[in-house]
Amino acid sequence: MKLTNLDKDTFTQDIQQGLTKELVSNTLQTKEKVNKDAEWISSILKEVYFKQGKWVRMNTNKTKAWWDKKLLNPIVKERNRARRWILLTRSTEANNCYQQWQKVFKTKVKELKRNHWKTFLETNVPNHTFNAFQLTKKVASGEVKPLKNMQGKMTNNKQEQTDLFFHMFSQAGTTVEDVEKTAIEINQSQPLHFENITIDEIIINIKQLPNKKSPGPDRIPNELIKTACELIVNKLADLFNNCLTIGHFLTSWKRAVTIIIQKTNKSNYSDPSADRLIALLNILSKLFKRILNNQIMYLAHKTGAIAEGHFGGRRGHNIEEAMVLLDSWIKERYGGRAK
């Protein structure tokens, strides 16, 4: 759905009506209540969103630019008349007439497309090569290519392919057991404590969500949360703080839609390692983890848990600053002498 076509007045009214229907009492905070609250908020957003219908994102300047109304519209009109003739009479004569007009239509369409493509290639415009690539690249079918299993045989079985990806990527990460306990100093007198998530904190993080990102299993895009921000921010604050209070992360927030993208310049694409997996998460899950990550990074800086020379994954730290720091350390260590 194109959010620019969203009737915001109707959207606001429907959201407000939906929020007046509490599903669970607020007296007791349990995992069941938190799960239902999250499901309730998501269902309201989806219901109101899809209630307004679906608009196809299209640019009239790019849609069927090869179409010639003066040439094709009369042919389409005669072809449709022949189709109606078939429905009325079911005769061989009517069928032959329709097939004749259909053949004329396909021939003219093929000719127009060929001429339009020829003109396009002869035109010198910015991003011409990229546009040509976009028009000619293979459209994704949604199917996973055959993969080689543990026995060296090719398989199209979805469950077996899923197991192959899971086995490969589960071996890539570092588990808790791999980290030496002596390498981590934990101050038991000051345990990790998350602060209550404020309304302003949620609003800031919602505004920072990027646009035009694919939604997760909940099918709620980032732009929709931004549009409904002022209406649902109080409910989100209650939900997130309840999650922190009882120490619960929703099971539904752990689910994802996995997109498979082939890596470039690989010799064997039947090997699962030739693919890159991208997980599309629910919007509330992404927002909650984004806020927690900010709190964790703040505590890490405040307590000095992150070394001064650590630059990876830190906001505002880049490779140029790392090189300057390394150069300064070498000069200080060796007094400017080459070593």
Which of 31-35, 205-209, 267-271 bottoms out in mean pLDDT, i.e. has the lowest?
267-271
Contact 42/217 with Cβ under 8 angstroms?
A: no
Domain range for 222: 3-55+157-168+207-306
Contacts of 159 (CB under 8 A, 6+ apart): none
- CA dist., res. 101 & res. 76, Å (int): 8
Q: Are residues 19 and 67 located together in one domain of the fold?
A: no
Has residue 258 been placed in a domain? Answer: yes
Q: Dump pLDDT digits (tens) for 132-191.
A: 666 666 656 667 778 888 888 888 888 888 888 888 776 655 454 544 444 445 454 555
Domain membership of residue 334 (yes or no) is yes
Q: Is the pLDDT of residue 27 over 70?
A: no
pLDDT confidence of residue 72: 93
Q: According to the model, what pLDDT value does residue 190 have?
A: 54
The answer as to whether 15 is a domain residue is yes
Residue 76 has what pLDDT?
A: 93
Whether residue 195 is contained in a domain is answered as no
Residue 149 has which token pair?
């299993």
pTM of the model: 0.64
Same domain (yes/no): 42, 90: no
Same domain (yes/no): 106, 232: no
What are 62-77's pLDDT values in tens digits?
457 888 889 999 999 9
Reading the block at residue 30, the tokens are 């349990």
Number of domains in the chain: 3
Provide the pLDDT for residue 26. Answer: 54
For 22-25, the CB contacts below 8 A with 24+ separation are: none
Is 39 contained in some domain?
A: yes
Mean pLDDT of 185-210: 80
Is residue 265 in a domain?
A: yes
User: Is residue 13 located within the same domain as residue 46?
Assistant: yes
Share of the chain above pLDDT 90, in %: 25
Could you tell me if 162 and 257 lie in one domain? yes
Give residue 200's pLDDT: 95
Residue 104 has pLDDT above 90, yes or no: yes
Number of CB atoms found within 10 A of residue 122's CB? 7
For the chain, the average pLDDT equals 81
In this structure, the answer to whether residues 223 and 321 fall within a common structural domain is: no
Task: Note the pLDDT of residue 182.
Answer: 41
- What is the per-residue pLDDT for 144? 75
Q: Could you tell me if 36 and 50 lie in one domain?
A: yes
- Is the pLDDT confidence value at 278 over 60? yes
Shared domain for 113 and 211, answered yes or no, is no
What pLDDT shows up at residue 327? 85
Cα 326 to Cα 301, 305, 317, 323, 338: the distances in Å are 20, 20, 13, 5, 14
Same domain, 107 and 35: no
Q: Based on the fold, state whether residues 228 and 247 are members of the same structural domain.
A: yes
Q: Token pair for residue 156?
A: 């199209």
Residue 229 has a pLDDT of 93
**Residues 85, 220 within the same domain:** no
Lowest mean pLDDT among 48-52, 177-181, 198-202: 177-181
Amino acid 134: pLDDT: 62
Same domain as 295, residue 252: yes
| pLDDT tens profile 222-275 | 999 999 999 999 999 999 999 998 888 998 898 998 888 888 888 888 888 888
Question: What does the pLDDT average to over 299-325?
Answer: 79
- Is 85 within a domain? yes
Q: Is residue 266 part of a domain?
A: yes
